[in-house]
Amino acid sequence: MNILLLGYGKMGRIIGEIAEERGHQISGKINIDNRSDLDQIDPDSVDVAIEFSQPDAAVENISWAIKRGIPVVSGTTGWLDQKPQIEELTLKHNTAFFYASNFSVGVNIFFKVNKFLASLMKDQAEYKVSMEEIHHTEKKDAPSGTAITLAEGIIAENPRVDHWKLEEDSDKNEQTIPITSKRIDPAPGTHIIKYKSEIDDIEIAHTAHSRKGFAQGAVLVAEWIKAKKGILSMDDFLSF
């Protein structure tokens, strides 16, 4: 399979290494320094594009591929206010778009555990939920996309909360999930959900030890999505 890498930072490099180890070819490696090289790439030479760039480049990168009928696997966060336009573009050009805030199988199991715990806690009004996420200092957006997905999972299961905010912006409303974002090297990603009461605390956490789990997941999805169409997610891939 021929894979185009849209974004060639640390994640892009690891994705490229894993893809080549699995027998795939890299059709191109695009980053901020060689963005103009996209015009030289033959779309027919690309089976799938894997997009891990920056929030300010994601929409342009994804749109370029979709308009040429190339399926896209994207893990860039911080641009999702424009995701409906990308989904509309995907359907218009009859290709496939796959977005996940996190491609780690372990994290996606953690998403399920988080939602299950939230459903158990919905009637426990004495517990106040909060979240902490820790990433490396190169991560541009806060909170992380994974943290937002976790918060959305809690909101879906617990009617006592209806929105999230960064802790420094939090209005301390009981219906708010406060999220603390820390940027500490070399942390690849830690997410902690806490339910606190006067009597006790309940915590669940996921800690990534490297970026390899994210990168391997992205390559596995790229292999899976090649012949598919439409708007797809990790639930489709993992068949939860």
Task: Write out the catalytic residue numbers.
Answer: 135, 139
If we measure between CA atoms, which residue out of 200, 204, 176, 202 comes closest to residue 190?
204
- The neighbour count for residue 61, using CB atoms within 10 Å, is 23
The residues near 4 (Cβ < 8 Å, ≥ 6 apart) are 26, 27, 28, 30, 41, 46, 48, 49, 50, 65, 70
CA-derived radius of gyration, the chain: 19
DSSP alpha helix (H) spans, the chain: 10-21, 55-67, 83-92, 105-121, 145-157, 212-225, 234-238
Indicate the helix (H) or strand (E) that contains 139: none
The answer to whether residues 215 and 168 touch, using CB atoms and an 8 Å cutoff, is: no
Residue 223 CB partners (closer than 8 Å, separation 6+):
1, 22
Percent of the chain as helix, strand, coil, to the nearest 5: 40, 25, 35
- Measure the CA–CA gap between 201 and 106, rounded to whole angstroms: 23
CA dist., res. 187 & res. 159, Å (int): 33
